[in-house]
């Protein structure tokens, strides 16, 4: 079995015709187990400037944009995924897609909210990525993360890639050491994921 990088894997998924936005309803329902109503209630994206960390082909972003967010910036490391997202989200003018890695991306004091689903399992230096997100948020901005239960290796057909799983308690510790105040920790109804919401403390008012 061939070992591939995260970038190689997601580029290959596009080549293989794998696009969750275009999935039939049954598969879409399966993917929604990682977020669902609990996730969107925690995010509350209406009228907010939002960052999507690991936008992929735009599955979550489409719902966020439909919910009335003011503007959305989506980042991803896969050019082919971004190209597909650009097509899937072509009906929206209030968004921008950028080829970027969460380890390096930072836009100080820019976003009201940020979120990430099925991306942090690929991020090795989670503390650095969280700091970048924290610093990209405005005061009182929030970050909503879907934490899945993963093994160290993920197999897909004839290839596999390394993941970097940690448990919920370790995520909470990293949130707090970064500066986030924990707002909520909730399991999705399917138990497939835990939704963690952190808030950036107002530097002036505390």
Q: Which of 101, 3, 11, 26 is nearest to 57 (CA)?
A: 11
Q: Domain spans of the chain?
A: 2-200
Average pLDDT over residues 33-46: 91
Model pLDDT for residues 101-112, shown as the tens digit of each residue:
999 999 999 999
- Rg of the Cα trace of the chain? 16
Q: What is the pLDDT of residue 202?
A: 67
Q: What is the pLDDT of residue 206?
A: 43
Q: CB burial class (10 A; 0-12, 13-18, 19+) of residue 45?
A: buried
Q: What is the pLDDT of residue 205?
A: 45
Residue pair 36/190 in contact by the 8 Å Cβ criterion = yes
Q: What is the pLDDT of residue 204?
A: 44
Q: 2-200: which CATH architecture?
A: 3-Layer(aba) Sandwich (3.40)
Handedness of CA 69, 71, 77, 81 (dihedral sign): positive
Q: What is the pLDDT of residue 109?
A: 95
Residue pair 57/20 in contact by the 8 Å Cβ criterion = yes
Whole-number Å distance between alpha carbons of 64 and 48? 10
Model pLDDT for residues 51-78, shown as the tens digit of each residue:
999 999 999 999 999 999 999 999 999 9
- Tell me whether strands 111-117 and 137-148 are parallel, antiparallel or unpaired: parallel
Residue pair 183/142 in contact by the 8 Å Cβ criterion = yes
Q: What pLDDT band is residue 203 in, cutting at 50, 70 and 90?
A: low
Whole-number Å distance between alpha carbons of 167 and 175? 13
Q: Which of 126, 138, 135 is nearest to 101 (CA)?
A: 126
Q: What is the DSSP letter of 14?
A: H
Name the helix (H) or strand (E) containing 194.
strand 193-200
Model pLDDT for residues 91-131, shown as the tens digit of each residue:
999 999 999 999 999 999 999 999 999 999 999 999 999 99
Helix (H, G, I), strand (E, B) or coil at 205: coil
Q: Which of 60, 59, 58, 56 is nearest to 77 (CA)?
A: 56
What global pTM score does this model have? 0.94
């Amino acid at each position: 079995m061939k070992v591939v990088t995260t970038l190689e894997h997601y580029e290959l998924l596009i080549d293989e015709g794998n696009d969750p936005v275009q999935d039939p309803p049954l598969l879409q329902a399966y993917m929604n187990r990682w977020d669902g109503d609990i996730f969107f209630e925690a995010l509350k994206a209406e009228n907010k400037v939002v960052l999507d960390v690991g936008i992929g082909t735009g599955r979550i972003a489409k719902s966020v944009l439909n919910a009335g967010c003011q503007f959305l910036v989506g980042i991803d490391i896969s050019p082919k995924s971004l190209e597909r997202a650009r097509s899937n989200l072509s009906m929206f003018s209030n968004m921008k897609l950028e080829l970027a890695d969460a380890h390096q991306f930072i836009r100080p004091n820019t976003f009201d909210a940020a979120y990430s689903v099925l991306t942090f399992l690929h991020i090795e230096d989670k503390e650095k990525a969280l700091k970048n997100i924290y610093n990209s948020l405005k005061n009182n901005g929030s970050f909503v993360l879907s934490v899945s239960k993963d093994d160290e290796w993920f197999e897909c057909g004839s290839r596999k890639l390394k993941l970097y799983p940690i448990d919920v308690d370790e995520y909470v510790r990293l949130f707090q050491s970064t500066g986030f105040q924990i707002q909520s920790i909730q399991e999705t109804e399917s138990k497939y994921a835990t939704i963690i919401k952190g808030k950036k403390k107002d530097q002036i008012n505390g």
